Structure 1
Amino acid sequence: MADQLPEQCCTLPPFTSDYTPTGSYFTIPVPDTKQPDLRVYSAGPTDAKTVIVCVYDIFALHQNTLQGVDHLASTYGCRAVLPDLFRGESWPVENMPPKEGQAVLSAWVQARGNWEAQIRPALVAVVNKVKEEGAEKIGAYGFCFGAKKLVQAQPDNLFGAVALIHPSFFVAADGDAMRVPSLLVPSSGEDQTIMNGFWSRVQAKGGDIAAKSIREDFTDMHHGFAAARSNWADPRMAGRARDCHALMIKFFKATL
């Protein structure tokens, strides 16, 4: 796995937000681990047949990300859930750019986002829970580090389709891992050579994976524009974030 975050990820601070979330929280155990129960934010009807899971960025339960979950649930008419995979922790918003340097931030993300020990068991528990409550179609979207987790999730067949929004830690070979249709949304902050390589490998798979996958570049926007690093008080930024969420809804409707 690539061991560095994009430059914009390490220099652009998150925006503050005074949005008040409209959803609620529940907790679930994570079997076969020593981790505490997992707190999960939920918006939309709990018995919805379609559920979309959000995997956040390093700023965790940021108000922008919660607002996006609420917007997706209400606009799509689905249930959207956001597990707190960092268990109440996040990278401090006041430490951006990181005073310790980019390598320290990347190492922190790698440790907190360890796939086998932390993220995989939590996502499996979330998927099992929503299935118990009636979910029949489950998709997921991930921001930044979260997009990489959805690549790593491919062998577990947890999701019927995934959206990868301004992804971090990607390498071109990640395209070989994709088993379901994917929506790729690069910003100006991603390495275009890697994005192109990833996309060409997805397309080379053929069949529904290639035919139903979509790429739309938001190169007029900085890394993080659809989540914590966007100032949604700015009409242009808010509009482009809504464009991204509308694209996700269209994609999930077509693939789940």
Structure 2
Amino acid sequence: MVQALKSKGVSKIGAAGFCWGAKAVIELAKITDVQAAAILHPSFVTVDDIKGVKVPLAIFSAELDKQYPPKLLKEFDEILQSNKVDRRVKMFPKCSHGWTLRYNASDPAAVSRANEAHKEMLNWFTKHIK
């Protein structure tokens, strides 16, 4: 897909991965097929995956997601920092895994938290995809 975009003249690409899509985005970020990446409530992303990231990466996680506790996110952040990769690692309070996509649209707090994550992701891409 990246090559198809490039064949159409697209020169800068950002990739976002939600849940299991985060793993695919991390693979793109390791081989620099994209200029920036963002992952939201990731699944299947390991410490070794993060060690290979070469492009700016934003990680947005949920406080109540037991798969990615604060200690692991801190480790991700430290790895990216030591590799001199621009990064943004943020844990959203009072959120569960999937909060950016699977939320109750009639709950103003849930809508607000999802919108905040989406806005931060767009700001990340605006910063890195010029």
TM-score interval w.r.t. the shorter chain?
Answer: 0.7 to 0.9
Q: Partner residue of 2:71?
A: 193
How far has the Cα of 1:205 moved from its partner?
1.1
Distance 1:194 1:151, change over 3 A: same
Aligned AA (1:166): H
Counterpart secondary structure, 1:186:
strand
1:248 aligns with 2:121: yes
CA-atom RMSD in angstroms: 1.5
* Structure 1 unaligned regions, length at least 5: 1-125
How far has the Cα of 1:241 moved from its partner?
1.0
Q: Is the 8 A contact 1:137 1:160 kept in 2?
A: yes
How far has the Cα of 1:135 moved from its partner?
1.4
In structure 2, what is the Cα distance between the partners aligned to 1:156 and 1:171? 16
Q: Deviations over 1:41-68 (max 9, x none)?
A: xxxxxxxxxxxxxxxxxxxxxxxxxxxx
Q: Deviations over 1:113-159 (max 9, x none)?
A: xxxxxxxxxxxxx2122223331210001011111222222343211
In structure 2, what is the Cα distance between the partners aligned to 1:240 and 1:141? 17
Aligned AA (1:255): H
Selected match of 2:40 from 162, 165, 170: 165
Selected match of 2:27 from 152, 166, 172: 152
Selected match of 1:182 from 45, 54, 57: 57
Tell me the matched-pair count: 126
Q: Is the 8 A contact 2:29 2:36 kept in 1?
A: no
Q: TM-score, normalised by structure 2?
A: 0.87
Counterpart secondary structure, 2:41:
strand
Counterpart secondary structure, 1:167:
coil
Q: Is the 8 A contact 2:73 2:89 kept in 1?
A: no
How far has the Cα of 1:191 moved from its partner?
2.4
1:219 aligns with 2:97: no
Q: Is the 8 A contact 1:173 1:198 kept in 2?
A: no
Counterpart secondary structure, 1:252:
helix
Counterpart secondary structure, 1:225:
coil
Matches within 5 A, 1:37-76: none
How far has the Cα of 1:201 moved from its partner?
0.3
* Structure 2 unaligned regions, length at least 5: none
In structure 2, what is the Cα distance between the partners aligned to 1:242 and 1:154? 24
Counterpart secondary structure, 2:72:
helix
Residue identity over aligned pairs, in percent, reads 29
Aligned AA (2:122): I
Q: Partner residue of 1:202?
A: 80
Distance 1:155 1:215, change over 3 A: closer
Bigger Rg, which one: 1
